[in-house]
Structure formats: C-alpha cells, structure tokens
Amino acid sequence: MNLLEYFDKGFNYEQYITDVEDRLEAEIEVDDPKDYVQYYALGLQRMNRVFKTFKLTPVQEKRVKETNNNFKFLIITEGWCGDASQIVPVVEKLANALSVETKYVLRDENMGLMENYKTNGSISIPIIVAVSEEGEELFTFGPRPAYGMELLAKFKNNPDIYSSEEFHEDLQVYYNKNKGEDIVNEVLDLIDENVEN
C-alpha cells in the first residue's frame, strides 16, 4: 500500500479545522442521531486551546534540532474524537517545529486505510503514520500515549471496579496535567528509532 495516495488527498491542518467547523454546523442544522454536536463543539474548543497554548520544553526543542525530518505525517482522525482533540494539535505543533508536512484524513471516510491501523482489533483514533518519501510506513503513534493506554487497559480489565466514567475523567486529567509532553517525547523516540539519517 502506497500511503502517498492518502497523503495527497488529505487536508492540511487549517483545512481539517475548517472541515470540523463545517461538520459541526451541518450537525446543528439536521437531526443529530449520534449526538455528535456536543463532541464536535468540545473537540474544536480543545483543539484551539491546545494549539494556542502548547509549547515544546527546552529539552524537546534541543531534540527537535537534532532529529531527522525526511518523512511526512499522515494523521487518521475525526473531529468528534476526544483523544484526537488533545493529540492532533500537539503533533501539528511538533511537525511545524520539525518542518515536517502533515496531512489529515477522516477515519470514517477511509475505512480501507483504517483496517491497517487497528489497535487490538479496535478502530481507535487518532493514528499518526510517519510516511517515507517513497510512501512507505516508517512507524505509527496512537491512539493514545502509553499512559493513556495503561488507563484504558485498567478499565477494560476491571470495568466493574474502574468505570468508564472514571477512565474518561482520569484520561482528561492526565491530558490536562501532562500538556502534551508525553506525546512529543514518545513521537520523538519513535522518530529516533525508525527514521534513518
């Protein structure tokens, strides 16, 4: 599978945000059977806040200067996704610092692609795919940083003890306190491990 085909048809970040805004407006104007309006609205609010406030740490800035950038990011996402609203703006800011091009494709319109990026059988997003100049996958990140995946495993293993509500609350607290630091560090580690100079 050549990922450049998906990359070429993807949105840039500004187009992605505009698409989310358009979808929010469309959901408001029609019967909203999946109750997406609240999720699109919350997602936009979070993405705008995170994009505005996120900054690399000095250590991360130093790492970025030493990091190879001969790849692109293809990001599989949806505007209503809570994890995406926390992760996507951080990855976009990191990509900007690395001078790496990003493109966004919507999961629900690209299920053939998503079939290749399931997490334990689930179509969870966002998935960030590092793509070589030849269109080959170099590595993936997502749908959550490692600690978020630990929280999910805790919920899945003991739903009677650790409820869905507790999981979502703890995940949100983690995202708010961590401020994207783990996301950046994990992606930079993946670049170091998988992208040749």
Beginning with the edge strand found earlier in the chain, give each strand of the sheet holding 72-77 in spatial order.
102-106, 72-77, 127-131, 137-141
Would you state the pLDDT for residue 52?
97
Helix H, strand E, coil C: the string for the chain is CCCHHHHHHCECHHHHHHHHHHHHHHHHHCCCCCCHHHHHHHHHHHHHHHHHHCCCCHHHHHHHHCCCCCCEEEEEECCCCHHHHHHHHHHHHHHHHHCCCEEEEEHHHCHHHHHHHCECCECCCCEEEEECCCCCEEEEECCCCHHHHHHHHHHHHCCCCCCHHHHHHHHHHHHHHHCCHHHHHHHHHHHHHHCCC
Give the fold, CATH level 3, of 4-143+180-194.
Glutaredoxin (3.40.30)
What per-residue confidence (pLDDT) applies to 6?
Answer: 97
Beta bridge partners of 106: 77
For residue 135, the model assigns a pLDDT of 96
Model-level pTM?
0.93
Per-residue pLDDT at 107: 95
Per-residue pLDDT, 1: 73
Residue the block writes with tokens 């306190």:
177
What pLDDT, on a 0 to 100 scale, did the predictor assign at position 119?
92
Q: Which residues of the chain have pLDDT under 50?
A: none
Question: What does the block give as tokens for 133?
Answer: 């100049």
Q: What's the pLDDT score for residue 130?
A: 98
Enter the tokens of residue 152: 């999910």
Ordered by start, the domain boundaries in the chain are 4-143+180-194, 146-179
Whole-number pLDDT of residue 68: 87
Q: What is the rounded CA–CA span in Å between residue 42 and residue 34?
A: 15
**Tokens describing residue 189:** 């580690």
Predicted pLDDT at 32: 56
State the pLDDT at residue 125: 97
Q: How far is CA 31 from the centre of its chain?
A: 28
